[in-house]
């Protein structure tokens, strides 16, 4: 959870506790109006603290996106006609192997972009990888041949992408939320970087910069 969001949640929770104590004191003194006002404000701040906590939980699994970053390193290896293995290594060290069918490797992701006001709370453009599958070159093959699809994301109690869609009032702080996808041929062995920027997903050979200049020596296979 972003640190500013934690501070906001703690501040609202503290204010709600203080107001609840004030409401109890007003009850003892039989001040009905003071009790009502304190209770309403306490509930309001408690709701705001809960909202901050919900946003914090919802952004778990999403990684902050301020520039083009490497979301995963992918090694592909053909295993037969229109079949290949794709090994994903993620920034946290997790490694997953997927057996896919098709002529190309396909990956999609969720991206949430916040308004500048939300940036103050530590909420920045963020992404979460969603699915990986194989892709056939011909539409007819897509419709008739077997396909395999796997999830790349880990389950979370609340998903920010779905939350942004379901709660209309979040439209004031969510600039836009969208899906992005990319694919690349998988006919031969390859070592790739799956990169994500504010414009979406893309594959690059390992070591290649955004300007197309390679920073790694060529590898013989």
- Give the confidence band of 179 by pLDDT, cuts at 50, 70, 90: confident
What burial class does residue 3 get, using C-beta atoms within 10 Å of its C-beta: 0-12 exposed, 13-18 middle, 19+ buried?
A: exposed
pTM beyond 0.95: the answer is no
Domain end, chosen from 58, 78, 102, is at: 58
What's the confidence (pLDDT) of residue 167? 54
Quick one: 122 and 192 in the same domain? yes
- Tell whether 218 is covered by a domain: no
Does residue 23 form part of some domain?
yes
Contact 119/87 with Cβ under 8 angstroms? no
Whether residues 175 and 77 fall in one domain: yes
pLDDT at 220: 36
Residue 51's domain comprises: 3-58
In-domain check, residue 173: yes
Number of structural domains (the chain) is 2
Tens digits of per-residue pLDDT, 68-78? Answer: 788 999 999 99
**H helix intervals, the chain:** 3-28, 32-58, 116-119, 139-144, 160-166
* Cα 196 from chain centroid (whole Å): 11
């Amino acid at each position: 959870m972003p640190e500013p969001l934690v501070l906001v949640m703690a501040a609202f929770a503290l204010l709600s506790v203080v107001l609840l104590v004030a409401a109890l004191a007003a009850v003892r003194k039989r001040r009905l109006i003071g009790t009502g006002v304190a209770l309403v404000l306490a509930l309001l701040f408690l709701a705001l603290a809960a909202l901050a906590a919900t946003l914090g939980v919802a952004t778990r699994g999403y990684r902050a996106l301020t520039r083009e970053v490497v979301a995963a390193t992918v090694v592909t290896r053909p295993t037969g006609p229109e079949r290949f293995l794709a090994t994903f290594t993620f920034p946290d060290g997790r490694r997953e192997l997927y057996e896919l069918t098709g002529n190309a490797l396909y990956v999609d992701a969720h991206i949430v972009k916040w308004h500048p006001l939300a940036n103050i709370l530590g909420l920045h453009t963020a992404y979460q990888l969603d699915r990986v599958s194989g892709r056939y070159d011909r539409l007819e093959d897509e419709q008739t041949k077997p396909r395999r699809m796997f999830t790349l994301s880990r389950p979370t109690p609340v998903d920010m992408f779905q939350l942004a869609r379901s709660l209309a009032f979040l439209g004031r702080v969510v600039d836009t939320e969208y899906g992005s996808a990319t694919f690349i041929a998988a006919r031969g062995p390859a070592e790739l970087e799956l990169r994500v920027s504010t414009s979406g997903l893309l594959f690059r050979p390992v070591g290649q910069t955004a300007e197309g200049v390679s920073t790694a020596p060529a590898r013989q296979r």
